Chain A
Amino acid sequence: MQQVNPANAVPVTRGRSGKRFPFGMAFVYLCLSLWALTTIYPLIWIINNSFKSSDEVMDNSFKLAIPPDKLNYTNAFESISIGRAYANSLIMSVSVVLLVLIVAGLAAYILSRFKFRGRNLINSLLVATLLIPTFATVVPVYELLLKWKVVNTYFGLILPQTAGNLSFAILVIAGYLATIPKELEEAAFIDGCNRFNMFTKIFLPVGRPVFASTSIFVFLWSYNDLFSAIIFVNKDSVRPIVALLAQISSQYGTDFGLMAAAVVLTVIPVLIVYLFIQKYIEKGMTEGAIKG
């Protein structure tokens, strides 16, 4: 890594185009804002509609809900016990995230920083694993879970979901860890660290951005995974919120107001969690960007 001479050190803000293309910049901002509109508007639309009765939604889905009507929300909590489903989702998805980060982190560390025979083979194996769709494994996994008597328990969903996320997580984390300069490792070695210490003292902290991003993806995937949820944990006491959502759309299929409220309740907590972790990632990324 080059040493940065303080005399000509440049601040690490990334506005590289500077004054070159003023009209170009305006164009860029325009495009970005248009796309931002398509990502934000549907959320607003659905939050708005969740405060209307179903008839009002069908009548005009764009009218502002004034005054906002809470009927859909009270309905959701009372008649379909959405609170329990929430708790289930959170418990299971957070467990999956933690498990994946630990298991994949260790494996990714090995894959990216050690040289050994068979490394490329394992890499290719992991990529190939990405191609295995859930449907190809679901039935035998169900049989397995039945045999171990964990169907309709938390582990019944946590274990398969963790396994399902591992190949993706390992590849992404390893990809990032591979770009960490060797000098850090060498310095640690000189300082007398063993491999495990190197992992905890160097790679874990330096790899924070990728761990944070991976945890978001894993959490989202686990939280929104409908297919496995309906099959493995469909009983009321353990059912996650997505399964509940699916049931609503079939049972209360024409109550658009209730559906909108259910969707909002499903989506908002994830958004909030996401916004929190975002700050964390941003900090991690700028820390890592200062070289030298």
Chain B
Amino acid sequence: MKTINTISSILLLALFSNPVLAEIKVTTVAEIEVTEVNKQGEKIVKRSKATRVVPGTEVIYTITAKNTGTEPADNIVVTNPVPPQTVYVDGSAFGAGTNITFSVDGGESYNTAANLTVKDAAGKPRAATVEDYTHVRWTLQFSLQPGQEAPVWYRARVK
């Protein structure tokens, strides 16, 4: 009896003294779309890893956050800098159940597309265009349950 009690208290101690093993794992994939004609003569659009890229190519960045832990994760915010040699493709950002905002000041602040302004050469504010975007941000409006994945994506065109 005493041994069992000791063992169970050790186990209990072990449970409460270990850190919470909740993890988010993030993977990013860059792809391009390739149009192929199948045997029936139909055009099929396939995605493949971005390798053959030239100015003008549209690259699709897909970022997937996965909860690999045992606890739900909240307040998840995914941020991706738009590579400087590319331009964000207007309206291409998507993420189910997320609020999407952009930064035009190198990631200092974020706002919805309609509210973004930059200063022109004379210092006057003007509405920001996609050429001004430096970052894309997705703020998940839901908790990511253990084992759940949330992919978000956008397109960038190589200058």
A binds B: no
Chain A interface (Cβ < 8 Å from any Cβ of B): none
